[in-house]
Copies of this chain bind each other. A is one copy, B any other.
Amino acid sequence: MRNFKLTMEYEGTRYQGWQRLGNTEQTITGKLEAVLERMLGRSIEVHGSGRTDAGVHALGQVAHFKADTDMSAEEIFTYLNRYLPMDIRILSVQEMPLRFHSRLHAVSKTYCYRLYLGEKPPVFERNTLWCIGHELDLEAMERGAADCLGAHDFQSFCAAKRGKKSTVRTIYECSVSSQGDLVTLRVSGNGFLYHMVRILAGTLVEIGEGVRSADSVPGLLQAKDRTLAGPTLPSCGLTLMEVRYPESL
């Protein structure tokens, strides 16, 4: 048995997300597993670093699968890219020790949420950003973003019901940058709760609109109440950029 790590990108527009119970036809794993089954002649299970929601994109999603095959990583790379649709692209295939697990060993993930301030988004990028349609106070947003740094209980920024699992996460980077009318929110952390980045983006946008104050984030974190944070922004603006692993595994 061998273990292969896949690094990949996809435009999520057409898909119901990374994985979905039941109908797997329009999921990223569904497409991957169908091509792997065709390639290897038996059914293969693909495990990802985490699920991305319907419509969310990735430029650096990581997954792994185990298979008993003589194919080289290079051959698998070529085969997958050839038979996967054009909106899913394998960036690398790497053989790993059998113990490697793309979700359990991930030490950090980075997401970008892209906002467009103009009335209508540039046509070439229309599927990969969210159009706000007016100016935002970026300085206020930066101050709000900075208050997310470090270890906090992000219950207020989680769409899932309160359960037994910890909602504490550590944020390594949370920054706001802009280039013309495009504003990019970039967030790195050791893990993310359900809808966390999109709720964070919605809250920072409200700060940028002056609907809530730039120093409101600490209070929101403390409240541990989802209803107090901003809206969940649409999935089209969100892209999983990178998943990191320890140097030695």
- Which residues of A are in contact with B by a Cβ distance under 8 Å? 9-11, 57, 59, 78, 81, 86-90, 119-126, 128
Contact = CB atoms under 8 A, between A and B. Distances in A.
A89 B11 contact: no
Interface residue SS majority, chain A = mixed
Nearest to A126: B86
Interface core residue of A86, A90, A125 (most chain B CB under 10 Å): A86
A34 to B, nearest CB: 17
Contacts of A119: 78, 81
Number of copies: 2
Contacts of A120: 81, 86, 89-90
A67 to B, nearest CB: 22
Contacts of A126: 11, 86-87
B87 A11 contact: no
A139 B213 CA distance: 55
Interface core residue of A10, A122, A124 (most chain B CB under 10 Å): A124
B86 A123 contact: yes
Contacts of A9: 122-124
A240 to B, nearest CB: 13
Contact of A121 (B10, B78, B86, B124): B86
A124 B11 contact: yes
Contact of A87 (B86, B87, B89, B123): B123
Nearest to A84: B120
B88 A123 contact: yes
Contacts of A11: 123-124, 126
A39 to B, nearest CB: 16
A33 to B, nearest CB: 19
Nearest to A87: B123
A119 B75 CA distance: 13
Contacts of A57: 123-124
Given A81-B120, A88-B123, A89-B123, 19 more contacts: A9-B122, A9-B123, A9-B124, A10-B123, A11-B123, A11-B124, A11-B126, A57-B123, A57-B124, A59-B124, A78-B119, A81-B119, A86-B123, A86-B126, A87-B123, A87-B126, A89-B122, A124-B125, A124-B128
